[in-house]
Amino acid sequence: MRVKLVAGNWKMNGSLASSQALLKAILPPLAALDRAHYAVCPPFPYLAAVGQALRGSKVQLGAQDLSQFDDGAYTGAVSGAMLAECGCRHVIVGHSERRTVFGETDEIVAAKYAQALKHGLSPILCVGEVLGERESGVTETVVARQLDAVTARCGTQALSRGVVAYEPVWAIGTGKTASPEQAQAVHAFIRGRVGAADRRTAEALLILYGGSVKAGNAAQLFAMPDVDGGLIGGASLVADEFVAICRAAQSAQETVRT
């Protein structure tokens, strides 16, 4: 059975002090949630301090990006080995902001996925279409291309060592959430595509939804059969919102069990 995961993507927000304050607010209520898994992905400079604060809690540490290279003359880049050393378990790969603002191609994203695996990190592979692509009916083509770039390089079974996050770009930070049905349709497409190559990998694959998830819509999204949790941006910076989303994952998980 798949266990739901809620991961907070803090993006380039906050300060060391606000990170500590946020953790102080979320860790006690999250300690009471035992059914799903939870993670936070702070900016690089805060990883060590956040990792320290997470000690003794079940909340896992993640990073927002990693280099496609091992080590060497790559000014500004951070390697998978460094992230592993900082205690990261997860790393977001191919977020739409990395693809659009920083020009990451499908090939670079696939190379980053491979690096994450090499260093024992669980990559959270983001895929998703922009508004124009949805409107012109090519959502599945785009998502398939992004997914296939990774499986071509790493193999389908490599997906079982990571997580996929479907994040329609038009829903990220816009307040426009995909409806539960829209999310479910793309999640089912992703599982079906992986399943055509490897049924067991597809059945075990966690597929998160991301894009304006809030306390008010998380429960309906998590109730969809192929929505295995969420990648949360803006709402992960607001303690009450993030805790409520985590509670929704816990409740959805309880429903699955009974």
Interface residues toward ligand PGA, by CB under 6 A: 9, 167, 172-173, 210-213, 231-235
What gap in Å lies between CA 82 and CA 89, rounded to an integer?
12
Q: Helix, strand, coil proportions of the chain in percent (round to 5)? A: 55, 15, 35
Distances, alpha carbon 75 to alpha carbons 51, 71, 111, 172, in Å: 24, 10, 18, 29
Give the span between the Cα atoms of 110 and 1, in whole angstroms. Answer: 27
248 touches 230 (CB < 8 A): no
Nearer to ligand PGA by C-beta: 156 or 210?
210
Supply the minimum distance, in Å, between the C-beta of residue 157 and ligand PGA.
26
Catalytic residue chosen out of the listed positions 37, 90, 95, 187? 95
CB of 248 to ligand PGA, least distance (A): 14
Catalytic residue among 97, 104, 133, 167: 167
Tokens found for residue 63: 């990073």
Is residue 171 within 8 Å of residue 177, measured between CB atoms?
A: yes
Q: Which helix (H) or strand (E) holds 209?
A: strand 207-210
Nearer to ligand PGA, 210 or 229 (CB): 210
Cβ-based nearer residue to ligand PGA, 48 or 238: 238
Q: In the bound complex, what is the minimum distance in angstroms from residue 108's beta carbon to ligand PGA?
A: 18
Neighbour tally for 255: CB within 10 Å: 11
CA distance 48 to 95: 22
Rounded to a whole number of angstroms, the minimum distance from the CB of residue 71 to ligand PGA is 28
For residue 40, the minimal CB distance to ligand PGA (Å) is 12
Cα separation, 118 vs 122, whole angstroms: 10
Q: Please, which residue, 99 or 191, has the CB nearer to ligand PGA?
A: 99
Rank residues 116 and 231 by Cβ distance to ligand PGA and give the closer one.
231
Q: Which residues contact 257 (CB under 8 A, 6 or more apart)?
A: 1, 35
Question: How far is it, in rounded angstroms, from Cα 189 to Cα 195?
Answer: 10
Catalytic, 167? Answer yes
Q: Nearest to ligand PGA by Cβ — which residue?
A: 233
Shortest separation between residue 56's beta carbon and ligand PGA, angstroms: 27
Q: Which is nearer to ligand PGA, 1 or 101 (CB)?
A: 101
90 is catalytic: no
Helix (H, G, I), strand (E, B) or coil at 61: strand
Among all residues, which ones are annotated catalytic? 95, 167
